[in-house]
Amino acid sequence: MSTTKRTSLSLAAFCGTLLIATQVQAAGAFQSLSFNDAVAKATSQKKFIFIDFYTTWCAPCKMMDQGTFPDADVSKWLSEKAVAVKYDAEREIALADKFRIDSYPTLLFLNPDGTEFDRISGYVTPEEFMKFARGVEKGETSIDRMREEMGTKADDPLVRLQFASALGGRGEQAEALKEFLWCFDHGVAKSRDFAGIRNSYVVMELMRLSRTYKPASEALSDRAGAAESRLRTGTGTEADVSDLVMLNDAIGEPARSMATYDALVKKDPKANVLSAFEPHLFAMRIASKRYADIAASDDTEKDIAQRLKDLSGKSSGLTAIFSADDPQQMAMRKAEAFERLMGYYQAFIGLPDESRANELARNILKVSNNPNTLNGLAWSGYLSGKATQANVDQAEEALKASNGASIDVLDTLVRVLDQMGRTDEAVRRCKTAMSKTEDEMEKRILGECLKEFGAADAT
């Protein structure tokens, strides 16, 4: 697992407590079949093949398991018209790669011979599912229907976004990029309610597209550059600050945001636009490894104390009055506290200030002593670039608590060992784990580690 993918591990792990733990399937609709067996059955019965590619951590997948697939019309269609199967994309890796699955859920409608006819990416309601399903029966693809709808709703950013996602799923990258960029550039002007979607889902889709299509990466960089230019020339707005930080994070260049902020402070320390940077400054300094700035802040110790209270579930004042009985707000506050505390720990390790780091780690573990916290501390040490023996001990303890079964913790441990110059030990731990697992995702993660460590026989 790459550093980029793991940077937000701690927040994602805590937010996972908001998701429903069980997976519900529509009774009788889905069958336990291999892909080859599904093709054979569909061929003999002259039915479509329907595949739901999901992951265990995917919230929209769970929503569909709860509300879409159990719907009477959906369940009936799947039972009568298709051979329906579900595959965990992180376990059926070869099959997911075959169908270019990179978002979840992805719903595939296949011909009886196993070739793709149509796909849907993301959550859909029962009504939306049936619209797609009836189109499949008629030989119409979602792209065909969306092109028609675009004729009358070309100014609707939600319609354009759905169209862009469908194009991307089918590999039509150039046209998908064009539609995603329209949503980013013009969506909010057409609908103010689109702002949240623009700054989350649209950017996420552009990031995903940029991994395999260079023009998408260039488009993100161009827009970050334009926002920076406006800010540096004095014509920028708070929206430009938000775009600058968001886009530079997306392209992996957060230092550009920090450099722009520094230049603006130097030019005019009282500039109004500087206040828009405040919510982003901590993350910007962490990403730029400006650890001394964090440690020297007058608010650091006060903020740490408050975050420890939030992590423990203890609140005071208005926060306690208005949110103590709201489990979702409590979980989010804990997640934010956890992420901020991991940032402080990373800064103290990176300075290095071992005494302050050790004290913070002890205080964090007093209120949240579990494998995720231990792993988060070890990973934060790794991100600092100056991992210590304490981080090895934290990862070892977290691994022990999971009976050696957590690939995330093992990934942390071997990276910490490698960073400390104990690469031979890291390689040995990887190879031992690889010899014991049959899980394709775990093998892939361990293989990536071995390659990064320069192991000659990484495969």
β-pairing verdict for 116-121 and 48-54: unpaired
Which of 116, 140, 164 corresponds to the end of one domain? Answer: 140
Check: CB of residue 385 under 8 Å from CB of residue 419.
yes
- How confident is the prediction for the chain on average, in pLDDT? 90
Q: Say if residue 127 is in the same domain as residue 228.
A: no
The answer for residues whose C-beta is within 8 angstroms of residue 165's C-beta and 6 or more apart is: 121, 122, 176, 205
The answer for residues whose C-beta is within 8 angstroms of residue 216's C-beta and 6 or more apart is: 173, 177, 180, 206, 209, 210
Which of 140, 175, 203 corresponds to the end of one domain? Answer: 140
pLDDT tens-place string over residues 48-89? 999 999 999 998 999 999 999 999 999 999 999 999 999 999
DSSP string of 268-281, one letter each residue = -TT-GGGGGGGGGH
β-pairing verdict for 82-88 and 48-54: parallel
The answer for residues whose C-beta is within 8 angstroms of residue 310's C-beta and 6 or more apart is: 333, 334, 336, 337
Q: Is residue 79 part of a domain?
A: yes
Task: Enumerate helices (H) and strands (E) in the chain, giving the number of each.
Answer: 26, 4
pLDDT tens-place string over residues 146-172? 888 888 899 999 999 989 988 988 889
Alpha-carbon span 342 to 294, nearest angstrom = 13
Range 313-338 average pLDDT? 73
Number of domains composing the chain = 2
pTM (two decimals): 0.79
Which of 257, 288, 319 corresponds to the end of one domain? Answer: 288
In this predicted structure, the answer to whether residue 213 has a pLDDT above a threshold of 50 is yes
pLDDT in the model for residue 28: 60
Alpha-carbon span 24 to 343, nearest angstrom = 37
pLDDT in the model for residue 319: 52
Range 10-34 average pLDDT? 55
User: How does 6-30 read in b/e, with b if 16+ C-beta sit within 10 Å?
Assistant: beebbbebbbeeeeeeeeeebeebb
Q: Is residue 275 part of a domain?
A: yes
**Closest by CA position to 65, among listed 22, 106, 28:** 22
Q: Is residue 55 part of a domain?
A: yes
Burial level of 196, CB count in 10 A (0-12/13-18/19+)?
exposed
Q: Is residue 46 part of a domain?
A: yes
Q: For residue 57, what is the domain's CATH number?
A: 3.40.30.10
The answer for residues whose C-beta is within 8 angstroms of residue 275's C-beta and 6 or more apart is: none
The residue that leads in pLDDT, 403 or 380, is 380
Alpha-carbon span 17 to 313, nearest angstrom = 14
Q: Is residue 212 part of a domain?
A: no
Alpha-carbon span 315 to 334, nearest angstrom = 11
Q: Is residue 372 part of a domain?
A: no
Q: Is residue 104 part of a domain?
A: yes
> For residue 314, what pLDDT band results from cuts at 50, 70 and 90?
confident
The residue that leads in pLDDT, 20 or 118, is 118
Residue 111, domain extent: 23-140
Q: Is residue 229 part of a domain?
A: yes
In this predicted structure, the answer to whether residue 402 has a pLDDT above a threshold of 70 is yes
Task: Count the Cβ atoms, other than its own, within 10 Å of residue 282.
Answer: 19
In this predicted structure, the answer to whether residue 22 has a pLDDT above a threshold of 50 is no
